[in-house]
Amino acid sequence: MGERIRRTTWFEGTVQGVGFRYTACDVAARFPVTGYVRNLRDGRVELVAEGPPEQVDRFIAAVRDALRHYIRHVEQTDGPATGEFERFGVRY
């Protein structure tokens, strides 16, 4: 199956109320990634993606590109994949 990573990404800016989560899900459908995206109480959006490192890189880059006008700052951390997700979706 190859190496898989888990990347947690926090997006800051005008990222809530602009369709961010649904756009991220649409983008995820084009990549072999699993995980979730959700709004945080502090106004950020958290995105957790698991998959092959190069695919996670491409997925996050595509999300950033699609929503670039809303994003002011991005933070990321990487770790080992847990395999806990069956698909990519929105969490509430």
The catalytic site residues sit at 21, 39
Pairing of strands 34-39, 88-90: parallel
